[in-house]
Structures are given as C-alpha cells and as structure tokens.
C-alpha cells in the first residue's frame, strides 16, 4: 500500500486522511499530545511535532518515514488572508528541516487570501507563487510542489449561517472540504507536479443568499455582478474536474456521492 504523509492533521488534514485511508497508509503529524490517541485509533501512524516561528536549529530531527512516503500534504498555515502575507520564515525553515531532502510529490495548502481585495475576478496568473513568500519558500526547496489556493473552508458545521456575518451583499469564495479531498485524490492519481490551482466553488452567491438557503428562508434580492471572485477555471480544465458542491448555498445538504 502506498504511503501518504499529512503534516498538520487538523480539521482539513483529518478530512483528507479519512478520504485517502482506504487506499493509502496514513502518516500524520499533530502538535498536541491529546490528539495522538484519536488519530492512532483511526489507524494512522502519528508523530507529535511543532514548527515554531523561531529558530530551533539542531533540536528538530528529520522525519524518519519521509523517504518512504509517496506524497506529503502540508496543511500547516504559512500565510495571512485577504492579501496580507505573514511570512513565517523560521516556521517554514523548521518544516523544511523536518522533511529533509524529500523527492516525492508535495502538496501545499495555501489560500486565495494571496490575492488583493480588489473587485475583479482573479486567476492563478494574477499572482505567481514566486511573488508569494509563504509559497515561494516551499517552492524553492521543493520545485515539484503542487500549490492549492483554497477558498473559505466549509462543510460539516462550518456553515455561514453559524457565524456572525457582516457585509451580506458581498460575493463569497468558498469551498467544501469534500471537493478539496477530491482534487487531492485526482492529482495523486495523475502524479501531478508543480501545479498551482485555485480550489474554489465555481458559483459565487452573496452571503445573504447562502445564509437564507442554509436557514430554508427565501431570498428576494438581486445578486450583484460585481465583487472579488476567484476563478477555478484552470482546475476544471486541467483535471476535467466536476465539483460535488459547486454552489455554496447548498453546502449544508449531504451529497450522496460522498
């Protein structure tokens, strides 16, 4: 059985691990001792490790299993949101030390927050990974890295109706975790290398539409055609990808194909 490493097995990493566990042996990392048993009970091989944002040279060992892994998925956050980069170079350096001279597939979960907060449609060509510190620091060490720029993470109890929301007429850029898992699964099968994709649902309703739909309330307003949107066109074209959850208004409705 092939082996997958998931660095940062939190909410998203846990969903990815669950999707892949039937086909891959899962090697996961966590920062908290309390999660080790939960992850181990699921059949994962677990390593407790932290990547602080200060220099710990000489105290962090390389991940012993890394050379045997077919792919490594990094879900540890390195960037800010809404275009505000918070380059955590020491944190990234510590992670790179942990991986050592790894040669297999690498996935970095980035964010659509790398794009400016301008009212236009953004594609991957609007922001090179070389111009995003949190992406380039990984790419410089692992040029084969696949960078997935994730929209707002939704699904399960992560629904817009459960939050205190302002700017209700603003268009949303959201993604259901199940579609992220499907993208990763397809790219693993394709042996993808050095790709940059926006992973975002193709429909962009406004916040009020989403909240009303999730509360089973009607919506009588008009959707504005202007706003900041992120395009998944390259992902759809390259992977011939079909979203299970293309419309954030219906993220709360279980999909039978999950």
Q: Give per-residue pLDDT as tens, 126-167.
A: 999 999 988 999 999 999 999 999 999 999 999 999 999 999
What is the span of the domain harbouring residue 33?
A: 3-250
Q: Give CA–CA dist 171/220, Å, rounded.
A: 16
258 pLDDT above the threshold of 80: no
Q: Which of 107, 88, 2, 12 is nearest to 50 (CA)?
A: 88
Which DSSP string corresponds to 6-38? EES-SHHHHHHHHHHTTTEEEEEEES-THHHHH
pLDDT for residue 52: 72
Average pLDDT on 232-253 reads 96
Query: Is residue 87 over pLDDT 70?
Result: no
**Domain presence at residue 60:** yes
- Band (85; pLDDT cuts 50, 70, 90): very low
Cα separation of the two ends of the chain: 23
148, part of any domain: yes
Looking at per-residue pLDDT, the higher value among 222 and 58 belongs to 222
Average pLDDT of every residue of the chain: 91
Q: State the average pLDDT over residues 176-180.
A: 98
Task: State the pLDDT confidence band at 84, using cuts at 50, 70 and 90.
Answer: very low
Residue 94 pLDDT class (50, 70, 90 cuts): confident
pTM: 0.93
Q: What span, in angstroms and rounded, lies between the C-alpha atoms of 40 and 153?
A: 25
Percent with pLDDT over 90 in the chain:
79
**What mean pLDDT do residues 172-195 have?**
98
Q: Which residue has the higher pLDDT, 59 or 211?
A: 211
Q: Which of 200, 186, 188 is nearest to 245 (CA)?
A: 200
Q: How far apart are CA 57 and CA 100, in angstroms?
A: 13
Domain assignment of residue 257, yes or no:
no
pLDDT, position 53: 72
Predicted confidence band of residue 80 (pLDDT cuts 50, 70, 90) = very low
82 pLDDT band (50/70/90 cuts)? very low
Three-state DSSP class for residue 153: strand
Query: What mean pLDDT do residues 105-115 have?
Result: 95
Number of domains forming the structure of the chain: 1
Q: Could you tell me if residue 207 is inside a domain?
A: yes
81 pLDDT above the threshold of 90: no
Closest CA to 248 of 164, 159, 170, 162: 159
Domain membership of residue 256 (yes or no) is no
- Asked if residues 46 and 10 have their Cβ atoms less than 8 Å apart, the reply is no
Residue 255: inside a domain: no
> What average pLDDT score do residues 206-216 get?
94
What does the pLDDT read at residue 221?
A: 78
Residue 243 counted as domain residue: yes
88 assigned to some structural domain: yes
Determine the Cα–Cα distance for residues 12 and 183; give it in Å rounded to an integer.
13
Q: List the CATH number of the domain containing 30.
A: 3.40.50.720
């Amino acid at each position: 059985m092939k082996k997958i490493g998931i660095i940062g097995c939190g909410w998203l990493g846990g969903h990815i691990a669950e999707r892949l566990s039937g086909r891959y042996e899962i090697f996961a990392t966590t920062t908290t001792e309390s999660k080790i048993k939960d992850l181990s009970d699921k059949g994962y091989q677990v390593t407790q490790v932290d990547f602080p944002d200060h220099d710990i040279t000489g105290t962090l060992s390389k991940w012993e299993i890394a050379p045997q892994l077919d792919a490594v998925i990094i879900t540890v956050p390195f960037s800010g949101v809404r275009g505000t980069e918070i380059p955590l170079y020491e944190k990234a350096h510590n992670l790179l030390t942990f991986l050592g001279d790894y040669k297999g597939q690498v996935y970095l979960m980035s964010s659509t927050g790398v794009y400016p907060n301008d009212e236009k449609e953004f594609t991957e060509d609007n922001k090179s990974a070389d111009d995003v510190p949190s992406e380039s620091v990984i790419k410089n060490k692992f040029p084969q890295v696949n960078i997935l720029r994730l929209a707002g993470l939704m699904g399960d109890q992560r629904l817009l109706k459960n939050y205190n929301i302002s700017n209700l007429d603003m268009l949303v850029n959201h993604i259901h975790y199940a579609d992220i898992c499907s993208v990763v699964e397809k790219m693993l099968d394709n042996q993808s290398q050095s790709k940059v994709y926006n992973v975002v649902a193709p429909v962009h309703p406004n916040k009020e539409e989403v909240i009303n739909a999730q509360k089973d309330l009607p919506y009588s307003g008009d959707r504005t055609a202007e706003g900041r949107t992120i395009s998944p066109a390259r992902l759809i074209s390259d992977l011939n990808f079909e979203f299970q959850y293309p419309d954030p208004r219906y993220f709360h409705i279980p999909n039978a194909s999950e």
